[in-house]
Structure 1
């Protein structure tokens, strides 16, 4: 959703008139954020579809908003495609089962479609993990994804992804799409969002405790991030063991929105690790998700920011741009193969490390920066800022859309020549 929202102000400037089809928010059980509408141009048509009531479908073990809305998407878009002229269908969502409709609409109306892979769809990553580390209903979702993914991907006319690894994996899995247009396009930095968050700050509760040096991370947790957190907790533990160094007693780490579960039902995945290293008094984990603009405001209120990456090398942390836009001191620790590392280094972030090689000295240098008072805002590379702006990311998407249409046209001409 964020990809499309940040692109809507710029599509028309690239020659594309967009219409949005979405599930009516009343059928979703996620944190609502009406402020998101402020960034969408008023002239963009938005079509809302229904979904089956989760109160009833959950009794059958069916809670996915994608599966609950699939029939309604099919019905609504059938009417749009029948009555209007559309050149392309663009799926940009992590509710991947909806993407199987692309193959249906392509066959019925002859319209090409592009899928934006923001996360892996069918993946073996959790297959051999302990059950406690697997997502809920993993047995069912693994088998469903294994069946649905090929329906959507084999017929796709183009792929966009935040990670080259995702595209490579799909092209290896489905040779039919090996020569289809594809592009690695990260999420962009959308500066108007920070202003919207600041202008509406009275609507949000302050989650940070005054009087501390508050270091914030917002996003999912999980055991796969422990390797990135352990060096930090080790450095914090060592600093707290020195009674003459009062700086560390003023440090407090916040991990906010670490679970996808409904409010109040999330499982702690960070605090137990902090307890293991004896630093739990300086770590706050809030499993409940908070709204997007509440997140942005909290990042701006922080003293500094921390981004721990997954041990999965394909993990991109596509939400790094809000962290960069705040221009707060930033510590980032990733798998060395993550595509996020070269992006952060290109910006000019000083404290970006591979969890395999990060040292206590590296982390203490970051802590020293905070200990020296109110640091100067980072001066990021202007050329890189422009390169990863939401406007530039939209231009990159539209280039791929144009390429899909060109190849579609050339294929039709070639088929006509063969028939004649």
Structure 2
């Protein structure tokens, strides 16, 4: 059994999207010949919400190591909030100890807390252990460079320049890449031609059916984050907001405006709920969907809650919606881990993506919902969405007949197998070089 050291600053009970790949893979690594151990940041040093139920499906045999971080109450005074930067020195010290005392065959960075990745080349040089990076998001992204200041994330000026400096350090000696998007790999290989010869694999996020078993087991512990009445028809979205979702929101809301004018007695029963739209600490999130609704004079029908929900609370919310909607970006590299819980809820799904994005292709391949292709003419799309909403409110838009056999390809067992295939290829390459 080969030994895998996983670097994931956020990990259960922390409710963070970028630890889900690892959480869902942990039950299956041993089946594919790998014994995993995880190094995480102690939860007390993070400001993200927790969900203790996330620990339920983590095998007891998996060793979890924890590191400290500089307290944010100190570092925030100089504008430093990144958990990766605050924990960097502690990671270096802890993993040095582990690599001195145990033999690990591979280090696996699976996180969007990118600065910690610069430790990969350091550990490789010091201990001779190869490392793989899992690109769940772009690190150095050019997306916001031509956007207005109001559309850019907070501290974009600093983070963009830091990312531009750190990314090549991590990429210089990396031994393999996994990514949720072909676009991310294409961008990296264009920037760093030496990556062309490395093992690389596009592996989407995974579906994990046991999560819905957990939700239904603990059903009595949850409450809906919105009022559900017999007269209202609730369209629900659980996931991040952001200015890159503006196009999708405007198409949806314009279609709804058309419906209000054409069939006011029917469309007035619709309610659109956008929940957990900000990664900011509780109470500090800035709404990005509600202002669009307010500008279009339909805010009465739109509810945005920026605070994130505990993970299983979010699944419970999906499981009790009348209808699900997924807002995505017009960027064809955009991917979304949330599509699998949406599909597993077995509800009608209206999704807004570029048709070439992995999220759109998965929904289409599994026949799990309706995709609105954001690259097409907006006026044409508004008409399609209006007709869709009309059918839904009349009770004529049934759940898609999901192809569950096709869906099995995306379940965590198979996604874990694909990761391990890349691990094995990296190890084989390293043995050839050293032999």
Calculate the TM-score normalised by the size of structure 1: 0.95
What is the CA-CA distance between 1:220 and the residue it aligns to?
A: 1.3
8 Å Cα contact 1:20-1:46 kept in structure 2: yes
Aligned residues: 412
Q: Determine whether 1:173 maps to 2:217.
A: no
Partner of 2:16: none
Does the CA-based 8 Å contact 1:19-1:46 persist in structure 2?
Answer: yes
Residues 135-181 of structure 1 deviation map (CA, whole Å, 9 limit, x = unaligned) = 11111111111111111112110000100000111011011211100
Do the aligned residues in 2 keep the contact of 1:162 with 1:318 (CA within 8 Å)? no
Q: CA RMSD in A?
A: 1.5
Equivalent position of 1:84 in the other structure: 102
Q: 1:76-155, aligned counterparts within 5 Å?
A: 76-155=94-173
Moved over 4 A (4+): 374-377
Q: What's the counterpart of residue 90 of structure 2?
A: 72
By how many angstroms is 1:377 displaced? 4.2
Q: Which residue of 2 aligns with 1:417?
A: none
- Whole-angstrom CA distance in 2 between matches of 1:281 and 1:91: 44
Note if contact 1:351-1:362 (Cα within 8 Å) is conserved in structure 2: no
Q: What does residue 370 of structure 1 align with?
A: 392
Cα distance in structure 2, aligned partners of 1:111 and 1:408: 9
| Partner of residue 418, structure 1 | none
Structure 1 segment 295-306 matched on structure 2, within 5 A: 295-306=314-325
Structure 2 residue 307 is matched with structure 1 residue 307: no
Q: Which runs of 5+ in 2 are unaligned?
A: 1-18
One of 243, 247, 250 as aligned partner of 1:227: 247
* Residue segments in structure 1 that go unaligned for 5+ positions in a row: 414-420
Q: Does 1:238 align with 2:258?
A: yes
From 347, 367, 370, the counterpart of 1:328: 347
Q: Is the 8 A contact 2:349 2:399 kept in 1?
A: no
Residue deviations 1:387-414, cap 9 Å, x none? 111111001000000010111111222x
Equivalent residue, structure 2, for 1:396? 418
1 CA distance for matches of 2:408 and 2:428?
Answer: 28
1:19 match: 37
Q: Is the 8 A contact 1:351 1:366 kept in 2?
A: no
2:61 matched residue in structure 1:
43
User: SS in structure 1 opposite 2:66?
Assistant: strand
TM-superposed CA distance for 1:132, in Å, is 1.1
Aligned pair partner of 2:291 in 266, 272, 281: 272
Cα deviation code 1:43-86 (max 9, x no counterpart): 11100111111111111111111111111111111111111111
- Contact between 2:256 and 2:389, CA under 8 Å: does it hold in 1? no
Asked if 1:386 corresponds to 2:404, the answer is no
Q: CA deviation at 1:225?
A: 0.9
Cα deviation, residue 260, structure 1: 1.6
Of 268, 288, 302, the residue aligned with 2:307 is: 288
Which 10-residue stretch deviates more, 232-241 or 332-341?
332-341
Q: Following the alignment from structure 1 to structure 2, what is the Cα–Cα distance between the partners of residues 220 and 16?
A: 33
CA deviations over 1:190-229 (Å, ceiling 9, x no partner): 0011121222233333212222111111111122111112
